Amino acid sequence: MDGNDAHAEGKQVFRPRRVFAVSMGAAGLMWVAVLVYLFRFEGVPLKTFLSAGFFVLFFAVSVTYYSRTLIVVDARGVTYRGLVRTRWFPFADIRKLDVLPGPVTVYAIRGTGGFVHFTSFFRHHQDLARLLVERAGLSPLHGA
């Protein structure tokens, strides 16, 4: 599902917009086609193959990131699942939610055990930020 999915147990799931995974997948497929096409020619320098291979790898990692990343908010706290790690924060441990506005807004959830971040690439990111502020008992966000 895309964006904010409400579950019967009161869980809300926030994900990056699906368009990012789809566009990264399309770009990755294009670079796979370029790499395969390069094999039709003789004398192509190794660095050309390596460059095309780099882009295939880059877009594969990007698709994995956008497909795997999610934030779950339930009655007990926040679970952030990223590319390589999953972190859980009880609401009582969340100390601050930093908001860095710009073309892409970045939100940093700061807890006693570290921090995680999400961006405005998440569907319903403003609702997620408000929910975190409300449940963690933080001071209200301005301009988010």
Task: Yes or no: say if 121 and 17 are a contact pair by the CB < 8 Å rule.
Answer: yes
pLDDT at position 113 is 80
Per-residue pLDDT of the chain in tens (144 residues, 90 and over written 9): 445 555 546 799 999 999 999 999 999 999 999 999 999 999 999 999 999 999 999 999 999 999 999 999 999 999 999 999 999 999 999 999 999 999 999 999 998 888 899 999 999 999 999 999 999 998 766 554
Picking from 28, 75, 80, the residue whose alpha carbon sits closest to that of residue 54 is 28
Q: Domain residues of the chain, as ranges?
A: 4-12+69-136, 17-67
Q: Which CATH architecture has domain 4-12+69-136?
A: Roll (2.30)
130: Cα separation from own chain's centroid: 18
pLDDT at position 2 is 44
d(CA 79, CA 88): 4
Residue type, 47: K
Tell me which residue has tokens 């095309």: 52
Picking from 116, 61, 63, the residue whose alpha carbon sits closest to that of residue 94 is 116
pLDDT at position 123 is 96
In the three-class reduction of DSSP (H, G, I as helix; E, B as strand; rest coil), residue 23 is classed as helix
pLDDT at position 9 is 61
In the three-class reduction of DSSP (H, G, I as helix; E, B as strand; rest coil), residue 82 is classed as coil
pLDDT at position 8 is 47
pLDDT at position 53 is 97
